[in-house]
Structure 1
Amino acid sequence: MASHRKPKQRSLTSGTIRAAALLALTGAASATLLDGTGHAENRLTPAQVKAKVDEYQREAEEATEKYNGAREKADKARLRLEALRDQAARRTTRLNTARNALGAFATAQYRSGTIAPALQLALSSSPDQYLERASLAERAGSRQAALIATIGRQERKLRQVRGEAADRLAALRASRTAAAHHKRTVQEKLAAADRLLARLTLEQRQRLLATRDADKAAGSLALVAGRAARAVSYAYAALGKPYVWGATGPHGYDCSGLTQAAWRAAGVALPRTTYTQINAGRRVTRDQLAPGDLVFFYSGISHVGLYIGGGRMIHAPHPGAPVRMASVGDMPFAGAARPA
């Protein structure tokens, strides 16, 4: 007689339970992320949009300066590479000429044959004639030895030039890669700013632009900002390099040599000494300091640094101390100038 039992329900395995839970969590997370990314920017107020757009544009400006620096490095590396390649070609030609001359000399020796000096003396009818021939042979041997030494020097120099060319080629490729990266960053930041502005109504955009136009009081500083940023960037790159009296880089600096080199990298020629640099450009007060300004110290205007913001500067302190950051308040402040 058949029993009437309820069919057993299949139990869920632990693996099935984990899979179901994972799918549920993933779905919930995806919904949250999509909702967050899809609507976060829509919830921004016009003031927040303005702040975000300003941030994107500042970041784009920073990337632009990095792009300019990378392009400048690439141009210099390309010019040096071309010069090295020309030099290598000329040295190769000279080396081949010397080798051909040595080969011709050796061929002539082989064809004429060589006779032992004692046998030459025995066969010679005149000792004077023998001595003359011996002298000529000695001079020829000296010329051959000198030619061999010249070839050795030329080979070493050619290897050196080719090695430097290889280094410049690597630097050129690295600079081009960096430039391409910074260019993409600029494009991405500006595109993000445009997308934010597109979310505003026409009236909101007009008000935002009107507000930005009202900020043009800082416009005169903005005209200098690009070059100042390059000078500051150069100073940052010099951090850790040694103080070298009378040096203007790139391996070491004294105080005015560092500021001169930094602004030279930005396309501005400064005088060499602290006493003359303080009169280069427009004098500014301490509360007007902006990144890139020259800050001077002591009553005799004997020290200078490059202001980087936040009350700090980069300077070459003194022999034995490398280029480093310091507070503007660490020394008696004597004045400041903004190169133009």
Structure 2
Amino acid sequence: MAAHRTAAHRKPKQRLFTGPAARTAATLALAGAASATAFEGAAQADPQLTPAQVRSKVDRLYHDAEAATERYNGAKEKAADSEKSLDALRDEAARRTERLNAARDALGSFATAQYRSAGIDPAVRLALSSDPDEYLERASFEDRAGDRQAGAVNGVRRQINDIAQLRAEAEDELSVLASRRADLEKHKNAVRTKLSDARKLLATLTAAQRADYERSADASHGGGAVRADRSTPRGSVNAPNARAAQAVDFAYGALGKPYVWGATGPSAYDCSGLTQAAWRDAGVSLPRTTYTQINAGRRVDRSELAPGDLVFFYSGITHVGLYIGGGQMIHAPRPGAPVRIAPISEMPFAGATRVA
């Protein structure tokens, strides 16, 4: 009876599918898993963008790339400044080390001479001297020389401290340089990523759609104005002074050259690289970035613009052009769009500066 009750309460053993039933179950399981995966993928996939949405996203990526380019330009300028400071500190430390070594050599020579003459007691030297007056005169001279030598020793100590200070400053500047180089690499990668994303989006368009995008971009960036105004005599620009006229003339000479981020000429430019090069040709040194160039002169209202003024765009001051009169500017727009003439009304105006 006990054996019977035990068998009655024992759970029935689950039977595994075998043969055709096993194959059918496996097929259903795989189909179900595939359906679930497909459903999850469809839920997570981005919706197909329309050509208009692609163009809008590409424009935004180009704008973000330009903002990153200006940050890259600023980081590059700061890194170059740090390199110059570090080189200057190292050069000064080397010069002072040479002077220190010379002072040490002089002290060593004096110490050697003093050692050689210190073997005779001064009283004995006086007693043995054939000319006591001459001896006393020489002793007084040696005392004065000793005072001077003590001053030389103190001078050596000061030089050692100065060199240690220079080396500490050089170490600090080296740390700053490393940080600025890291910033430079970060902003460089940001630019490359934005431009790569823009290229990938453009690749989703057909050839006809890409051509349409380029035509619309040219039109919105004043592409037609480039050809119309190339025949305008540069001397007819009514610049307020000779330097402004020279800067405008340089910008006209750059028309058609490609936009390359981080470039300052002579074969390619980014936006702030072009304005910097134009004013450099006129004998004026501008800082490298849009957000520093806007503070490089006197602010002027939009209604007061004159040829040669720098005109800035977007709230983050991420784009700059050179005003040439008639509501137009010469600027380097974006990758794929060469230096050209465009209306200043095509972008959100942020301010203007008169350099000279």
Above 0.5 in TM-score? yes
Distance 1:284 1:77 in 2: 28
The question of 1:100 aligning with 2:105 is answered: yes
Deviation at 1:35, TM superposition (A): 3.7
Distance 1:107 1:78 in 2: 43
Unaligned runs of 5+ in 2: 14-33, 227-258, 260-268, 277-283, 321-346
The question of 1:174 aligning with 2:186 is answered: no
Letter in 1 for 2:162: K
Q: TM-score under structure 2 normalisation? A: 0.56
User: Larger C-alpha radius of gyration, 1 or 2?
Assistant: 2
Query: Which residue is equivalent to 2:57?
Result: 52
Q: Pick from 62, 70, 79: which aligns with 1:74?
A: 79
Query: Which residue is equivalent to 1:163?
Result: 168
Distance 2:314 2:9 in 1: 89
Query: Which residue is equivalent to 1:8?
Result: 11
Distance 1:130 1:280 in 2: 86
Q: Is the 8 A contact 1:95 1:154 kept in 2?
A: yes
Count of residues in correspondence between the two structures:
254
Distance 1:288 1:78 in 2: 32
Q: Which has the higher contact order (CA 8 A, sep 6+)?
A: 2
Distance 1:113 1:284 in 2: 77
Distance 1:288 1:282 in 2: 20
The question of 1:197 aligning with 2:202 is answered: yes
Kindly, what percent of the aligned residue pairs are identical?
41
Letter in 2 for 1:62: A
Distance 1:5 1:230 in 2: 95
Deviation at 1:151, TM superposition (A): 0.6
Alignment of 1:91-240 (within 5 A): 91-113=96-118, 124=129, 126-217=131-222, 226-227=271-272
Distance 1:141 1:43 in 2: 91
Query: Which residue is equivalent to 1:302?
Result: none
Alignment of 1:277-316 (within 5 A): 291=317
Q: Is the 8 A contact 1:280 1:337 kept in 2?
A: no
Q: Is the 8 A contact 2:75 2:184 kept in 1?
A: yes
Query: Which residue is equivalent to 2:264?
Result: none
Distance 1:281 1:59 in 2: 28
Relative to structure 1, the CA distance from residue 211 to residue 36 in structure 2 (aligned partners, 3 Å threshold; closer, same or farther) is farther
Relative to structure 1, the CA distance from residue 32 to residue 8 in structure 2 (aligned partners, 3 Å threshold; closer, same or farther) is same
Distance 1:290 1:59 in 2: 11
Deviation at 1:139, TM superposition (A): 1.9
Query: Which residue is equivalent to 2:18?
Result: none
Structure 1: 4+ residue segments shifted above 6 A: 27-33, 228-231, 267-275, 287-290, 309-313
Deviation at 1:95, TM superposition (A): 0.7
